[in-house]
Amino acid sequence: MSADDTIVRAAFQGERGAFSETAARQLLGARAETVPFRTFEEMFDAVAASEADCAIAPIENSLAGSVHKNYDLLMEHNLEIVGETNVRVVHNLIVPADVSLADVKRIYSHPVALAQCERFLRSHSEIEVVSAHDTAGSVRMIVEKGSCDEAAIAGAEAARVYKAQILVEGIEDNAENFTRFLLLTPPHSAIRVEGSNGARKTSLILRISNRPGALFRALAALALRDIDLTKIESRPIEGRPWEYSFYLDFLGDRREEKVERALGHLAELAESIRVLGSYPRSL
């Protein structure tokens, strides 16, 4: 078995059949041995403790926005971003075998999934809606209970894993629903993924002094070199009320000359700078 074929233990939050597990397959293919964890904290800790080789972390959704917990955990852990992928989120109404829509009295799913299916749920207002900790876990629960009047909202993979049936496909309000996932590894890990288009992206955490124009000058270090900033996210600094760290994503690799110069310029302006990784860009 070559190095590229080595089995990789990939931690993800959720249960079998979750969208995070789909992301692991997209990033790692047949190499992925997926390992579920209940919380994001447990997932990050597993990689730090070498109980898993990498983690698959959702970082933002095109409709719901950023996953702030994972931005904070990136700050707390010494992990590197080595890849990313975008997963098209398709929500389906899933039931145990031989259950019809007329039978359904309760629907379970994660609160974000429920919020993204409001039109469908409003059109069936007679059905009780119940929040659960996980989309795929909701499918597992109703199947294990043998429910004849309950359904779950989740992805098609959850229906396959738990041998349930998809009653109604694509019930999300907006078809342009994507979640971006990061592949995180310990520093100097051999795990890498290949991009399909050669484009690269770099992510970093920037902390600057709280004074007028500081952020403007920092961002100018990128703009002056025609480096395309694709995302900026602020997170509070613990113990320093109303001060923030900034997470930046931009196009380019830290080994490129203009990116090296921009990073050097940023280092002169910042209290601290930490490059989280340069990795293949997912379109």
pLDDT attached to residue 64: 87
Mean pLDDT score of the chain: 94
Q: What is the pLDDT of residues 211-228, one digit of tens each?
A: 899 999 999 999 999 999
- Residues with catalytic roles: 179, 181
83 plus 98 within the same structural domain: no
97 plus 79 within the same structural domain: no
Q: What is the pLDDT of residues 190-218, one digit of tens each?
A: 999 987 778 999 999 999 988 899 999 99
Residue-number span of the structural domain to which 107 is assigned: 92-168
Is the pLDDT score of 181 beyond 70?
A: yes
Q: Which two tokens stand for residue 3?
A: 């190095």
Q: Which two tokens stand for residue 129?
A: 């809606």
Q: How far apart are alpha carbons 37 and 59 in whole angstroms?
A: 17
On whether the pTM is more than 0.75, the answer is yes
Q: What is the pLDDT of residues 78-131, one digit of tens each?
A: 999 999 999 999 999 999 999 999 999 999 999 999 999 999 999 999 999 999
* Domain membership flag for residue 42: yes
pLDDT attached to residue 6: 83
Residue 270 near residue 207 (C-beta atoms within 8 A): yes
Residue 159 near residue 166 (C-beta atoms within 8 A): yes
Residue 127: give its domain's CATH number: 3.40.190.10
pLDDT attached to residue 180: 97
Q: How far apart are alpha carbons 141 and 103 in whole angstroms?
A: 17
269 plus 215 within the same structural domain: yes
51 plus 181 within the same structural domain: yes
Q: Which two tokens stand for residue 209?
A: 């002094």
Is the pLDDT score of 265 beyond 90?
A: yes
**Cβ-based neighbour number of residue 231 at 10 Å:** 14
Q: Which of 185, 217, 248 is at the close of a domain?
A: 185
pLDDT attached to residue 5: 66
pLDDT attached to residue 27: 95
159 plus 269 within the same structural domain: no
208 plus 150 within the same structural domain: no
* Domain membership flag for residue 191: no
Residue 164 near residue 6 (C-beta atoms within 8 A): no
Specify the amino acid at residue 254: R
pLDDT over 90, % of the chain: 88
pLDDT attached to residue 79: 97
Confidence of residue 36 (pLDDT cuts 50, 70, 90): very high
